[in-house]
Structure 1
Amino acid sequence: MKNSSGDQQQTAATPTTFQNAEAFGLAKVAKSPWQSFILSIFAGAFIAIAFVFYITVTNGSTMGWGMTRFIGGIAFSLGLILVVVCGTELFTSTVLTSIPWAQKKVKTTTQLRCWARVYAGNLVGALLMVFLIMSARMFELNDGQWGLSAMKLAQHKIHHTWSQAFTLGILCNMLVCLAVWMTFATKDILTKSLLMILPVAMFVSSGFEHSIANMFMVPIGIAIHSFAPDSFYVALNLDPQQFADLTVSNFVFHNLIPVTLGNIVGGGVFVGIGFWLVEQGKLTLGTDGASHGTITSRVEPKND
């Protein structure tokens, strides 16, 4: 009897998935700005590495459109796995600070400063990888087909309409944040890693837009177009003017801004605020509601 009571107390003390998500959000804003920024650089580099993996495994594939993208999506999941397992700071999951913000445990200014430094750190990490990949001349792999694939992919991303890029951003970060959300249900590292693979593979293979991944993918296309030697284009029998629209302004205004806003809505609002509303619904259940699943009382918000 004694042991049974102890087990019940231990079970009652176990945090719920929502509580773990809340703690995750609070931990993001609690880090020192310098620590947060450095961890964000790592995360930006990890996502860039994942895109290098994606381009490499899909280049020259004869498996068909769907399977090629699926394999590429599985390869890309390496990025989020590295981010979560290594404890780095990725903007697209950091938007889950919307949960403690909704609970009024985090000020709006504090949250926005956190988002800004993580976003900036991710950009630094992504651009650092652009420099390293260009220095390694990886664009020459597979007789230049690697670089051609990178430019085509980058060019595709800047040709979305604004509303299309925004919507693809929403869809993407719903999947990213749901992948991260599932990791709150376990402490086992291997289980966390496996849980993230399919959601990431789904958003990548479906062409959803991830702002931090694009911080590498479009700039690497721009860099190849701008700095690849003439021999690269000669070997491919390619006119560089075909990719003249690969510019920084096109990237920022036609892709990065709408995709970033979409990522905030998809992860911070649809997932973060969405699950918070579900939790609020649980709190408003009376005794009968708990038994029968109907709301019998309403909790009025407190006045500040």
Structure 2
Amino acid sequence: MAYLAPAEFVTKMVDAGESKLLMSTRDTLIRSYMAGAILALAAAFAVSITVNTGNALVGAMLFPVGFIMLYLLGFDLLTGVFTLAPLAVFDKRPGATWGGVMRNWSLVFIGNFAGALTVAVFMAIIFTFGFSEAPNAIGEKLGHIGEGRTVGYAAHGAAGMLTLFIRGVMCNWMVSTGVVAAMMSTTVSGKAIGMWMPVMVFFYMGFEHSIVNMFLFPAGLMLGGKFTFMDYLIWNELPTVVGNLVGGLTFVGLTLYATHYKTAAKRVLG
């Protein structure tokens, strides 16, 4: 079958969460490094398309190619393990503990950041001819993105922080839906189509994705963005991570687990 019923693919979600917790440190770091690097490259691709065409929708429509590639290759994003890893604990799988979940999240964060930072350095070199001249149009755009989504939030104070957090929540609602969509089909085309739709929504809507931002903001700093590394951490990365955790786990992981895996007792008619 090309399509799996909800009860079947939610079982695969719990199995996947368990496998993340049992994975070796080496494999976790390698897979998360590659995921961060590929998603960063996709972000650079999408920004390049937007600058060159003047059409943000085209960039958003093509950004999911990176997301699809990394999941077909079996790599791991922090946003995905936020949703999947805790399900193994909720299901009381042998050896699944909250300590194991935190270990997995920490390793994936480190790997994703390292991979995204690698591509940020590569792209900064490309956009400046090895830092020998001013950034080109795409490099300038990356710098402005970093400014608007750090000091731009800070200018609104608490309201800006709330907006940032909600954008993080909405982002991983969509991204984790894409992670799950890959489990709904047994064909490559079915997986790709399922992942494409929600990821395109998140990117075009400007929601905040912690791993994409691990590329955008370090690259922006290297390309002359007028914000600091602490601006990035406080007014983007850390609140985005929390928002991504809340969005993926509550709106995707727990809701699907509760209604398709641990279904409530059926009503008795009469």
Name the TM-score, length of structure 1 as normaliser: 0.78
The answer to whether the Cα contact below 8 Å between 2:124 and 2:139 also exists between their aligned partners in 1 is: no
Rounded to whole Å, the distance in 2 between the matches of 1:145 and 1:184 is 39
Q: Alpha carbons of 1:259 and 1:273: their partners in 2 closer, same or farther (altered >3 Å)?
A: same
* Residue 97 (structure 1) aligns with: 85
The residue matched to 2:32 in structure 1 has which SS?
helix
The answer to whether the Cα contact below 8 Å between 1:157 and 1:255 also exists between their aligned partners in 2 is: yes
Alignment of 1:143-222 (within 5 A): 144-158=136-150, 159-160=152-153, 161-222=160-221
- Which runs of 5 or more structure 2 residues have no equivalent in the other structure? 1-5, 154-159
Which of 103, 111, 136 does residue 101 from structure 2 map onto? 111
The residue matched to 1:267 in structure 2 has which SS?
helix
Q: Alpha carbons of 1:44 and 1:193: their partners in 2 closer, same or farther (altered >3 Å)?
A: same
The answer to whether the Cα contact below 8 Å between 1:72 and 1:201 also exists between their aligned partners in 2 is: no
The residue matched to 1:137 in structure 2 has which SS?
helix
User: Residue type of the partner of 1:98?
Assistant: P
How far off its partner does 1:281 sit? 5.6
* Residue 33 (structure 1) aligns with: 25
Which of 253, 265, 270 does residue 272 from structure 1 map onto? 253
Rounded to whole Å, the distance in 2 between the matches of 1:69 and 1:199 is 16
**How many percent identity over aligned positions?**
25
* Residue 265 (structure 2) aligns with: 284
Provide, for residues 96-148 of structure 1, a one-character-per-residue CA deviation record: whole Å limited to 9, x for no partner: 2122222222210000100000011000001111121122236899x821111
- Which runs of 5 or more structure 1 residues have no equivalent in the other structure? 1-13, 63-67, 226-242, 295-304
Alignment RMSD: 2.3
Rounded to whole Å, the distance in 2 between the matches of 1:71 and 1:55 is 10
Rounded to whole Å, the distance in 1 between the matches of 2:22 and 2:70 is 18
Rounded to whole Å, the distance in 1 between the matches of 2:7 and 2:246 is 26
Q: Alpha carbons of 1:84 and 1:157: their partners in 2 closer, same or farther (altered >3 Å)?
A: same
Question: What stretches of structure 1 move > 3 A for 4+ residues in a row?
Answer: 137-141
Which of 219, 228, 249 does residue 247 from structure 1 map onto? 228
How far off its partner does 1:15 sit? 7.0
The structure, 1 or 2, with the larger RCO (C-alpha pairs under 8 Å, 6+ apart) is 2
The residue matched to 2:92 in structure 1 has which SS?
coil
The residue matched to 1:70 in structure 2 has which SS?
helix
Q: Which entry has the higher C-alpha Rg, 1 or 2? A: 1
The residue matched to 1:54 in structure 2 has which SS?
helix
Rounded to whole Å, the distance in 2 between the matches of 1:60 and 1:47 is 20
Rounded to whole Å, the distance in 2 between the matches of 1:74 and 1:94 is 24
For this pair of structures, how many residues does the alignment match? 253
